[in-house]
Amino acid sequence: MTTQQETRPSAAAKPVRWAADAVATMREGARLRLDYSAQSLWSVDRMIERIRNEGAPFAAVEAVLRGFGAYAGEVIARQSDGEWWATGGDHWIRTPDGRLWDPIDEARRCFAGHGSLRLLCRDATSAQRRP
């Protein structure tokens, strides 16, 4: 008898890789350890703010922001038992309550000065704890 290995939905393949790349880049380049905890998103928000304050053009940091957003999505997925959904090249997290969250776009909003990955995670995961 063989056992079937449980795999994540195919929608998770790209964002999981982007998140892992962001973790490796921050560990190697910025000496910042990201551990997939909700608390680690404080550091990610601050890193995005630092990049914005340095005046980097969006086109130069778009892939980094995508990685940070995917990392936040992985944090949300792990904290809420959510899963990645994809359509038309866009990726979202669907939490068990059926709500969709867009952490990659939220990373872009952070760069524009109007968002927070930490707060997005708080909102997405606190929805799971409500009665």
β-bridge partners, 101: 93
Virtual CA dihedral for 118, 26, 21, 104, nearest 10 degrees?
30
What's at 15, amino acid-wise? P
- Of 51, 46, 43, which is closest to residue 23 (Cα–Cα)? 43
| pLDDT on residue 4 | 39
**pLDDT, tens only, 56-95:** 999 999 999 999 999 999 999 999 999 999 988 899 999 9
User: Measured between alpha carbons, how far is residue 43 from residues 16, 24, 39, 81, 118 in Å?
Assistant: 19, 15, 8, 23, 9
Q: Count the alpha carbons within 13 Å of 130 in the hemisphere toward its beta carbon.
A: 8
pTM for this one? 0.88
pLDDT at 1 over 60: no
The pairing of beta strand 83-87 with beta strand 90-94:
antiparallel
DSSP 73-106: HHHHHHHHT-EEEEETTEEEEE-TTS-EE-HHHH
Residue 46 contacts residue 68 (beta carbons within 8 Å) = no
